[in-house]
Amino acid sequence: MHTVWKGAISFGLVHVPVKMFTATEDKDIHLRYIHKECGTPISYTRSCPHCERPAEWDEIVRGYEYEKGRFVLFENEELEAIKPENTRTIRILDFVALQEIDPLYFQKTYYLSPDQAGAGAYSLLLEAMRDSGRIGIAKVAIRSKSSLAAIRAVENCICMETMFYPDEIRPVQAVPNLPQQANVNDRELAMAKLLIEQLSTPFEPAKYTDDYRAAMLEAIERKVAGQGLDVVTAPAAEKTNVIDLMAALQASLEAVKAAPPDKGKEADAPGAPKRRSTRGRKAKETAP
């Protein structure tokens, strides 16, 4: 696994050095947009629709739209000044019972492993949480974002779940068309409860599979094996720097060949006979 963060868990005066690893991976089938005419993947460029031209990075700042079409702008220095302090610490604030937390709060899962000489403190925290049946509620800053987190034991590993803050959870009351009160027939209710009982079983995650992903992979393999019109090869990207260099060298050679030779340098041309100097000969003729 690739280390995505290094720091420490702190609770009380205990300091546990840890490394963080992403616990989940995205296995969705990601399809790209392809230019059907030539098979090239479509690229997206940074451009300004008002100026109708591409925008370079040094022309771009970040802004918050506080009203429709009105933005307050921030320079990078301003954002750096107000971002959460990167203390590299997962600071546990409280310990609570796991069943008290609605799964709605959980966001993304990470595994934590002991770093350097922290194995002793790591094992201490792991066993203490496991024996007490409690999990830690902590704050952590990852990639300049402050997050709430749950620290808990998963088998022999400490696991961290980033969590939504309470004000990020939409209230159930905002959902439209919810029934104000249950109006259920007793006989239908009894039958529904019986059906639930018959379908109840221990949770075995391995038996649940992504049927859509399996069907997509099968369709992809079938198309690749058939090598029909649906299988294309994108044209090789032009190496513009090499082409420009070769063109410049070729143009330079042609220019040298086409240029008339310099009179003063005719004798220096490759293959040309060397001219004898007359200065030494005249000196001999006039000598006594």
pLDDT (0 to 100) of residue 244? 62
Tokens of 47: 């451009």
Alpha carbon distances (Å) from 87 to 83, 84, 106, 140, 175: 12, 9, 23, 8, 39
Out of 11-20, 47-56, 83-92, pick the least confident: 83-92
pLDDT (0 to 100) of residue 105? 95
Percentage with pLDDT > 90 across the chain: 46
Interacting residues of 107 by C-beta distance below 8 A, sequence separation 6+: 147, 161, 162, 163, 164
- For residue 276, pLDDT over 70 is answered with no
Q: What is the dihedral of CA 233, 234, 235, 239, to 10 degrees?
A: -130
What mean pLDDT is reported for the chain?
A: 84
- For residue 168, pLDDT over 50 is answered with yes
Q: Are 160 and 110 in contact (CB under 8 A)?
A: yes
Tokens of 166: 């309470």
Q: Quickly state the pLDDT bin for 285 (edges 50, 70, 90).
A: very low
Alpha-carbon span 257 to 251, nearest angstrom? 10
Q: Quickly state the pLDDT bin for 85 (edges 50, 70, 90).
A: low
Alpha-carbon span 224 to 172, nearest angstrom? 47
Domains of the chain: 3-25+83-167 (2.40.290.10)
Q: What ranges in 83-177 are assigned the alpha helix state H?
A: 119-132
